[in-house]
Structure 1
Amino acid sequence: MFVKDCMTTSPITIAKSTPILEALEKMKKLKIRQLPVTDKGKLVGLVTERELLTVTPSPATTLSIFEMNYLLSKMVVGEVMVKDPITVSPETTIEEAALIMRENKIGCLLVLEEEELTGIITQTDIFDAFIDFFGIRKAGARLVLEIRDRVGAIADITEIMKSMNVNIRAMVVHRRNNDLFHIIVRVNTVEPEGLVKELEAKGFPVISVS
């Protein structure tokens, strides 16, 4: 799965000359937390709800609420936006996008194609993608198998499931240590007892069923 499969296309943008109070109101109305900032159609920055909410005039302690509101009304997005925000291409994989967000501690990535803003992908989009990976919204059972690292182990597991006419909805491999793996498998049956018995009989311990 790639960024282009999960991103919001044609994202809503805002001009850098927009007052920050207007930007906050727009975010609240549209129920979004970030807005790409453009100037003459070109991407120049990114503004987030968090950044706008943390903006305060200085020195704040000496100002009345009316003075603060007046100063805030004069501040524009261009003064608080993130310049040169991190971007990715539509062909970036979901796992790469997740890693970039995690390493840079950011909540979204802007998507550029030939220097044109084509989309935005957020943490929520990433979460939704991984939920789809695991097939959580589909009926079935979730099995966790414990196996030793060896060639052909997954092939053997899938062959057992094929022989029992069980369809695999999702499969994830989690390394526990250098030699031990957990295979998390979501299958289409809601009554996996027979499958569990067959797997264990063939030497694949099932340590969790849900």
Structure 2
Amino acid sequence: MKGNAMQTVEQWMTHNPITIEESASIIEAIHLLKEKDIRRLPVTCKGKFCGLITDRMIKEYAPGKSTPLDTWEVHYVLSKATVRDAMNPTPYTIQPDAPLCQAAQLVHDKKLYGLCVTDKNGDLVGLLTTTNFMEALIDICSMS
């Protein structure tokens, strides 16, 4: 139990998240997401946090089933496209010392699936996902 009355983002976030470089191919991102069984990858530009790519963004970027391209052609296109092409360069962020309820309100209001957690310098320090929120809710409910 992590319980205290004032839950913070840092208490529940995923520390040291897996990242991907902006120059990586979309195929590399797809493989990393599947291999690590995750849905979002913070993006780095020469080691500095610069965006976010998610499985949903990749699906929206990739040619749809109605395309005349066959599977191999789609794979080729995605192997040439970079993460930079499909990422969100300005994802919503929150600082680790922010109250968990503030993060929840932001996720609710903006209809997000998670937040990138950055320090005062804008450096990535974690991710706060819907899974993290559910873990916090379960913990808070079990304290009753």
Give the TM-score band, short-chain normalised.
0.7 to 0.9
Letter in 2 for 1:97: A
* Cross-structure match for 2:4: none
Say whether 1:41 aligns with 2:39.
no
Match 1:120 to one of 111, 122, 127: 127
Q: Please, which of 98, 105, 125 is the counterpart of residue 99 of structure 1?
A: 105
Deviations 1:110-142 (A, max 9, x none): 11112211111101101110111111xxxxxxx
Question: What code does the residue aligned with 2:113 have?
Answer: G
Q: State the Cα distance separating 1:102 from its structure 2 match.
A: 1.2
Task: Report the Cα offset of residue 56 of structure 1.
Answer: 2.5
Out of 1, 7, 26, the position equivalent to 2:13 is 7
Give the alignment of 1:132-143 within 5 angstroms: 132-135=139-142
TM-score, normalized by length of structure 1? 0.61
Residue identity over aligned pairs, in percent, reads 37
2:137: which partner in 1? 130
Q: State the shift of 1:79 in Å.
A: 0.3
Helix, strand or coil for the counterpart of 2:124? strand
**Of 82, 87, 90, the match for 1:84:** 90
- Output the CA distance in 1 between the equivalents of 2:23 and 2:77: 15
Equivalent residue pairs, number: 136
Partners in 2 of 1:113 and 1:61 — Cα distance?
42
Residue 57 of structure 2 is aligned to residue 51 of structure 1: yes
Task: Specify which structure has the bigger relative contact order, considering alpha-carbon pairs within 8 angstroms and separated by 6 or more residues.
Answer: 2
Aligned AA for 2:39?
R
Q: 2:118·2:124 contact (CA, 8 Å) conserved in 1?
A: yes
- Within 2, Cα distance between the matches of 1:112 and 1:49? 21
Question: What RMSD, in angstroms, separates the aligned Cα atoms of the two structures?
Answer: 1.5
Alignment gaps of 5+ in structure 2:
1-6
For normalisation by structure 2, the TM-score amounts to 0.88
Computing the radius of gyration from Cα coordinates, the structure with the larger value is 1
| SS of equivalent to 1:12 | coil
The Cα shift of 1:54 comes to 2.6
Counterpart of 1:74 (choices 80, 84, 88) is: 80
